Amino acid sequence: MSLNDTLKNLRENGIDEAKRAQKLQELNDLRVNLLGKKGPITKALRGMKDVPAEQRPEIGTLANNVKKDIQAAIEEKMAELNQKLIAKKLEEETIDVTLPATKKVQGTKHILNQTIEDIEQFFIGLGYEVAGGYEVEEDHYNFERLNIPKDHPARDMQDTFYLSDELLMRTQTSAQEGRDMEAHDFTKGPLKMISPGVVYRRDDDDATHSHQFHQIEGLVVDKNISMADLKGTLDALCRHVFGPDREIRFRPSYFPFTEPSVEVDVSCFNCGGTGCRICKYTGWIEVLGAGLTHPNVLKMSGIDPNEYSGMAFGLGPERFAMLKYGVNDIRDFYLNDVRFLEQFKGVN
């Protein structure tokens, strides 16, 4: 058999073997066996010395074409097998989109955060600013600037966590009042602020008490502030939180930083004022404390009480939420029990 015929047979057999291959490894072995240095094509070309000189270019061209044709057949078959492998893998990993999806539980803001943000938005709508304050506070701002000097008996009303002689965990967000009155420029208008945040008191935890709870303090300082301004503001707040039919009443009370001081009651939203278990059959529920800012508090901030007056109020978001939603134990707010918390999804 001539060298020309040998090369043509090698091409025909190589292409045929490539087409019959069922595995990629078979194609790799075929390429090495046919096209490698020790393959039959290389061996056949060693007979070029016996070919007349004028035929050698033709044989050389044929040999190159044989290699290219076999390589092309191998690559074509490889592409076909790879495509089949991909199709098989896709079939095995196919997701049945007709099956129900895994349900993802959507969380919600904590009910206390919802309550605080709702109250914040109410006061922002009235032109108030929101001031955070410091949880680790100076005795000077927490007590003395609120007209509660050292050894004053009013300090017994708040059992305090002291960190040093002058530093403590704030017992009330009222501590921010002194800082804001110092910093405010009254030539640009009145001071209107609320200060929400966490406060701390050494107390025994039970259904209605906690050593750590939230408070929102409010303060307005301007010329000619009166009890009418205070009552109108708190009346609007209680109607916003507890319902448009609510009424409020003031009862005389005592706070060192306000004079006069009042306790604020709201008409019972459960019975409408006729008397029930929630209001202890009085028709009223105590919700917060308030009053007109004491002249001494204004003086200590460099404000002339003969020219300016103020009003202050403090409320507990926990108490508001307990009353509004019928929560009987304040500790439920802090236990992170999803069964409890999911009841208040988007209530505000």
Q: What share of the chain is helix, strand, coil (3-state, %, to 5)?
A: 45, 20, 35
**Boundary-marking domain end, from 35, 62, 91:** 91
User: Same domain for 162 and 299?
Assistant: yes
User: Same domain for 60 and 144?
Assistant: no
Alpha-carbon gap, residue 140 to 149, rounded angstroms: 9
Output 42 or 12, whichever has higher pLDDT: 12
Assigned domain for 274 exists = yes
Confidence of residue 40 (pLDDT cuts 50, 70, 90): confident
User: Same domain for 165 and 292?
Assistant: yes
User: Same domain for 53 and 160?
Assistant: no
Confidence of residue 99 (pLDDT cuts 50, 70, 90): confident
Closest-CA residue to 319 (of 281, 271, 263): 263
Token reading at 75? 């690559």
Alpha-carbon gap, residue 17 to 34, rounded angstroms: 11
Q: Rounded mean pLDDT of 265-283?
A: 86
The predicted pLDDT at position 28 comes to 87
Chain centroid, CA 294 distance in Å = 40
User: Same domain for 23 and 172?
Assistant: no
**Number of domains making up the chain:** 2
Residue 223 has pLDDT above 90, yes or no: yes
Assigned domain for 75 exists = yes
User: Same domain for 63 and 122?
Assistant: no
pLDDT digits (tens, 9 = 90+) for 327-347: 989 999 999 898 899 888 877
User: Same domain for 175 and 311?
Assistant: yes
Assigned domain for 140 exists = yes
User: Same domain for 213 and 334?
Assistant: yes
Q: Rounded mean pLDDT of 36-54?
A: 72
The predicted pLDDT at position 108 comes to 84
Helices (H), 133-285: 139-142, 175-183, 227-242
User: Same domain for 181 and 72?
Assistant: no
pLDDT digits (tens, 9 = 90+) for 160-187: 899 998 999 999 999 999 999 999 999 9
Residue 98 has pLDDT above 60, yes or no: yes
User: Same domain for 188 and 120?
Assistant: yes
Assigned domain for 215 exists = yes
Assigned domain for 101 exists = no
Confidence of residue 89 (pLDDT cuts 50, 70, 90): confident
Which residues are CB-neighbours of 320 under 8 A, at least 6 positions away?
115, 119, 241, 287
Q: Which domain holds residue 197?
A: 109-340
Burial code (b: 16+ CB inside 10 Å, e: under 16) for 45-77 equals: beeeeebeeeeeeebeeebeebbebbeebbeeb
pLDDT digits (tens, 9 = 90+) for 287-325: 999 999 999 999 999 999 999 999 999 999 999 999 899
- The percent of residues above 90 in pLDDT, for the chain, comes to 52
Confidence of residue 11 (pLDDT cuts 50, 70, 90): confident
Alpha-carbon gap, residue 288 to 172, rounded angstroms: 13
**Boundary-marking domain end, from 91, 124, 146:** 91
**Boundary-marking domain end, from 59, 91, 123:** 91
Alpha-carbon gap, residue 159 to 175, rounded angstroms: 16
Assigned domain for 167 exists = yes
Known binding residue 259? Answer is yes
Q: Rounded mean pLDDT of 29-39?
A: 80
Domain CATH number, residue 143 = 3.30.930.10
User: Same domain for 211 and 78?
Assistant: no
User: Same domain for 185 and 289?
Assistant: yes
Global confidence as pTM: 0.69
The predicted pLDDT at position 302 comes to 95
